[in-house]
Amino acid sequence: MLNFIFKRKTPEAIQQGDKAVVRVQRFNPDVDEKPYMQEFEVPMSPETTLLDALQYIKTELDGSLTFRKSCRHAICGSCAMNVNGSNKLVCHTPLSKSLDHHGRVTIKPLPYLPIIKDMVVDRTSFWKQYLRVKPWLVPPDDIPEKEFRMSPEEVEALHNAETCIMCGACYSACSVVGMTKEYIGPHALLKSFLRVMDPRDSIPGERLADVSDTDGVYRCHTIFNCIDACPKGLNPTQAIETLRKLAQKREAWEAARRERQKHLTEPTDVKV
Ligand code: FES
């Protein structure tokens, strides 16, 4: 147990020599019966991120600490972890703003997923559900000669969903995922929404049927954990609500889409 007193400072007030206590959950299935917490003292500056702190621990204090990271710029999604009880990208989270009044921050792996080692979790169910919604675009046979025209409303509808970086923060914050790994999950349903709303896609009816089964949109409890967890500020809950509405009028939506296919070179309005 480290023994020093820390008064929480604003990032501007941090000086050279200031330190923070980083509590990390450790678990090596080869030797440990269950996870346990370990504390490390880490130097910090106003710019130090939680990923910097973990990297300091790994290179200077304990090389066995295991975690995923790659881009360091909130793009690849590999560094999602649970920080003080909330899922975050640690490369995008300042250390100084994560400390409690004792100068400590607690970092654990994403919840509801099997732990491989320390912060590294098994994302098999995450990717399995993602593939289940056919995340790729299925274009129609009669592709227009020039380009698919899209209205500003259609672009607006797609814009948010396409900025998802597949970090898994929403998936592992979802309490339904905590109950069953059969649930498709907010990440995959957001992708399904993106494809259903895309005028270039030719199988929206099939997609709506796929997400309407017992493990799909009706399994969502609408408790907004996914919105709180998303580091990109996306709204999977709203996407799920839209899919629910469209699923209820799937035949009409399919007919409207077929009509749209006849006029692919004309922009159209999105009406949900
Ligand atoms: S390291 Fe790529 S998102 Fe954090």
Whether ligand 1 lies within 6 angstroms of the CB of 232 is answered as: no
- Give yes or no: residues 139 and 255 share one domain: yes
Residue 178 counted as domain residue: yes
- Give yes or no: residues 98 and 143 share one domain: no
Strand 36-43 to strand 80-83: parallel, antiparallel, or no bridges (unpaired)? unpaired
pLDDT score for 160: 75
Most ligand 1 atoms within 8 A of CB, residue of 50, 55, 72, 81 to mutate: 72
- Give yes or no: residues 31 and 101 share one domain: yes
pLDDT digit string, tens, across residues 224-267: 999 999 999 999 999 999 999 999 888 887 777 777 666 655 55
Whether ligand 1 lies within 6 angstroms of the CB of 231 is answered as: no
- Spatial distance between the Cα atoms of 168 and 88, rounded to a whole number of angstroms: 10
Please state the domain count of the chain: 2
- Single out the residue in 121, 137, 153 at which a domain terminates: 121
Most ligand 1 atoms within 8 A of CB, residue of 55, 68, 89 to mutate: 89
Widest Cα–Cα separation across the chain = 72
pLDDT score for 112: 96
CA of 79 to the centre of ligand 1 (A): 5
- Spatial distance between the Cα atoms of 105 and 140, rounded to a whole number of angstroms: 51
Residue 51 counted as domain residue: yes
Residues forming beta bridges with residue 86, ordered by sequence position: 83
pLDDT score for 144: 73
- Give yes or no: residues 36 and 105 share one domain: yes
pLDDT digit string, tens, across residues 133-171: 999 999 888 777 777 777 787 788 788 788 999 999 999
Residue 86 counted as domain residue: yes
- Single out the residue in 105, 121, 137 at which a domain terminates: 121
Residue 268 counted as domain residue: no
CA of 164 to the centre of ligand 1 (A): 13
pLDDT digit string, tens, across residues 118-134: 999 999 999 999 999 99
For the entire predicted model, the pTM comes to: 0.87
- pLDDT band at 11; cut points 50, 70, 90: low
- Give yes or no: residues 54 and 162 share one domain: no
Residue 107 counted as domain residue: yes
- Give yes or no: residues 33 and 139 share one domain: no
Residue 129 counted as domain residue: yes
pLDDT digit string, tens, across residues 15-47: 667 899 999 999 999 999 999 999 999 999 999
- Single out the residue in 94, 121, 148 at which a domain terminates: 121
Structural domain of 111: 11-121
- Give yes or no: residues 152 and 235 share one domain: yes
Whether ligand 1 lies within 6 angstroms of the CB of 50 is answered as: no
Task: Choose between 194 and 3: higher pLDDT.
Answer: 194
Q: Which residues contact 232 (CB under 8 A, 6 or more apart)?
A: 163, 164, 165
The total number of residues shown for the chain amounts to: 272
pLDDT score for 4: 47
Residue 245 counted as domain residue: yes
3-class SS of residue 13: helix
CATH number of the domain at 208, please.
1.10.1060.10
Whether ligand 1 lies within 6 angstroms of the CB of 89 is answered as: yes
**Which residue type is seen at 65?**
L
